[in-house]
Structure 1
Amino acid sequence: MDELKNIAPELSKLKKEVPFSTPKNYFDDFSARMQTRMQTEKQGEPEHKPKIIQLLKPFIGLAASFALIFLLVYVPLKTFITSEINEVTVNIDHSDTDSEFLNILEGIDESSFFALLDESESETTDDFTNEELMSYVSANFTDYEIFEFTKNN
């Protein structure tokens, strides 16, 4: 005990009693209280039928979380990525065709250039057959566009 006083003087001053106790006369009417409690549990509480909202609540939450993920991820990505892709393809298309055209023009002298112009004018006078015209129109226009054109003319 002296050793405890030396090591922890505050701890040695505490009383050695059990701090917990039951209320007075608690066990006098304990059996009667237990009987009434058991009878009420046997009768049971009336069961409440779950409402539709309570049944659908997990699914609504899941759908809302997917919608939120979709709005936060897919829509911005689609907006930014498609605009970037369109800009890149437009730049690539223009630069490729422009550079090819310039390379061709640089390799041609004036007399060859004028000769090519004369040939292209003479080639445009070719006549097309009705079958060729019909196949071209059917391949490049929809029925509705053809109908609108014939209706307006």
Structure 2
Amino acid sequence: MGELRYDELGDALGTMLGPSDSILITQSRIDSFAEATEDRQWIHIDPARAAHGHFGTTIAHGYLTLSLVSAFLEQILVVSGFESVINYGTDRVRFPSPVPVDSLIRATGEIIGVVPGDGWTQLTVRVTVERDGGTRPVCVAEVLIRYIAPAEG
């Protein structure tokens, strides 16, 4: 885990983070995500049909995997001494490999950008999510996190 103070963020470029704990991707989690997002494509929610499909089983939505990046970041990057933090966005996201149901996934990260602003510092963290037993990442995302400086006084 990367543990930094707000006043150290300017020197954080290149810091390696993780790994996180693993999260099990169950069919129940996939089904709940499908309902929440109204993305009910059969490759995600129909195990019988998916068994005869390209992947041989249901797979998680790419955006389900991406949605877990925040949980992984909370484990692998701990910053103290700031007033608040804002999820500022994502520059680049790729899903190089699928996540079959019942996979364990976990994340590592690297701080690849540090931008100081007026009363804030923004980090770009390349988060790589991997699947146990996989040979390629299942998600690579460049996440922008803006830390607001502590109030003076």
TM-score normalised by L of structure 2: 0.16
RCO higher in 1 or 2 (8 Å CA, sep ≥ 6)?
2
The structure with the largest strand share of the pair is: 2
Which structure carries more helix by proportion?
Answer: 1
Q: Scaled by the length of structure 1, what TM-score is found?
A: 0.16
